[in-house]
Amino acid sequence: MGLFYNYENSGVGIAKNGPKKKPFFKFWEQFISKFWKIIYVNILFFIFSGLILAMIGFTLAGQTGNSYFLLLAVPVIVGFGPATAASMQVMRKFTLEKPTFVFDEFKTAYKSNFLRALPVGIFDVVFFSLFVYGATFYVGMLENSGNTGNYVLVIISTAIASYVFMANFYVYLEIVSLTLPLGKIIRNALLLTIMGIKVNIINFLVSLAFIAAIFLLFPFSTIVLPILPFGWLMFLYAFNCYPVIQKYIVNPYYEAKGEKNPELPDEDNGGEEPIFVDRGGSEPEIKKKRQARGFGRIIK
């Protein structure tokens, strides 16, 4: 870049209180700026959650026909919750545009939130495993019998699983950002699922597309799974859902105390005269003046 940029020129700068970018463009701007770090988080999540062992176990079981290899998936029951909480903590910091040392932040969040995230992770693994098994079972019965009652069971179980899935967008974010007991965190998440329904639908539809792509592109999708998709989805959840948590839980808490949420950007100094003034966007553009060329005669 230095070969083509003229450092003797200067633009007008970036205005501190300039117009805010639309969420869509802000999301992609943050995602691109954190792209390699999100890949790093995805790898950490895949390792610490035990999903890497589960993927190896399912692959070996499929190739050899030996179901004992499926036991490699057991660590997921313990690791999934804490690893998800740790990943969401890093993603939350990304969306807040806070300086973050990824591995240190992940490791600290994994340890400090282990006990609260563990039961949530166990519930998620067991609940969604049972849902997949049950949905497969009932769909098979529909094909064989065509009983209307089976249709009702499929619809009800799918609706419950969808609601629980969307509530998970908030549970792990609350675990890493609030000091509330786990019972109140879950209650808040169930309510926020309704309050933030717009962004929840976006997250849900994108997640469905992601799951569909995994199955449609299988087994090639297994190559990409440890690298990016989970990190990208968790970044999306944090970007869309943490502002909902701020709006309904964090901001009201500080307002009740007569304080300002420290996570919000500083827009004023409480009426005090600032020591330094950000002049970005108001300074005149500086361009180097072209040197006048002299005249002369041609030597013959």
Give residue-wise pLDDT tens across range 190-226.
999 999 999 999 999 999 998 888 888 877 888 888 8
pLDDT at 271 over 90: no
Distance in angstroms (rounded) separating the CA atoms of residues 267 and 169: 29
Burial label for 154, CB within 10 Å (0-12, 13-18, 19+), is middle
pTM value?
0.79
Burial label for 194, CB within 10 Å (0-12, 13-18, 19+), is exposed
3-state secondary structure of 10: strand
The angle, 0 to 180 degrees and rounded to 10, between the axes of the packed helices 114-145 and 182-195 is 50
More confident residue, 233 or 261: 233
More confident residue, 294 or 36: 36
Closest CA to 48 of 81, 94, 72: 81
pLDDT at 286 over 70: no
Distance in angstroms (rounded) separating the CA atoms of residues 132 and 114: 26
Quick one: pLDDT at residue 296?
A: 42
Query: Do residues 154 and 139 touch, judged by C-beta distance below 8 A?
Result: yes
Burial label for 185, CB within 10 Å (0-12, 13-18, 19+), is buried
Quick one: pLDDT at residue 266?
A: 61
Quick one: pLDDT at residue 294?
A: 46
pLDDT at 42 over 80: yes
Can you read off the two tokens belonging to residue 36?
């390699």
Q: Could you tell me the sign of the dihedral formed by the alpha carbons of 267, 270, 274, 276, in that order? A: negative
Query: Do residues 49 and 86 touch, judged by C-beta distance below 8 A?
Result: no
> pLDDT tens digits, residue range 51-94?
998 888 888 888 888 888 888 888 999 999 999 999 999 999 99
The domains of the chain are located at: 23-256
Quick one: pLDDT at residue 7?
A: 46
Quick one: pLDDT at residue 245?
A: 94
> pLDDT tens digits, residue range 232-252?
999 999 999 999 999 999 988
Average pLDDT over residues 26-46: 93
> pLDDT tens digits, residue range 107-139?
999 999 999 999 999 999 999 988 888 777 777
Quick one: pLDDT at residue 43?
A: 95
The region of weakest confidence among 92-96, 267-271, 286-290 is 267-271
Whether residue 23 has a cis bond before it, omega within 30° of 0: no
Q: CA torsion 19→25→31→32, rounded to 10°?
A: -90
Question: How far, CA to CA in Å, does 22 sit from each of 38, 122, 221?
Answer: 22, 37, 32
Closest CA to 129 of 118, 119, 137, 141: 137
Quick one: pLDDT at residue 175?
A: 95
Query: Do residues 97 and 30 touch, judged by C-beta distance below 8 A?
Result: yes
> pLDDT tens digits, residue range 135-188?
777 777 766 666 666 677 788 888 999 999 999 999 999 999 998 999 999 999
Can you read off the two tokens belonging to residue 238?
């944090």
Burial label for 156, CB within 10 Å (0-12, 13-18, 19+), is exposed
Average pLDDT over residues 24-37: 91
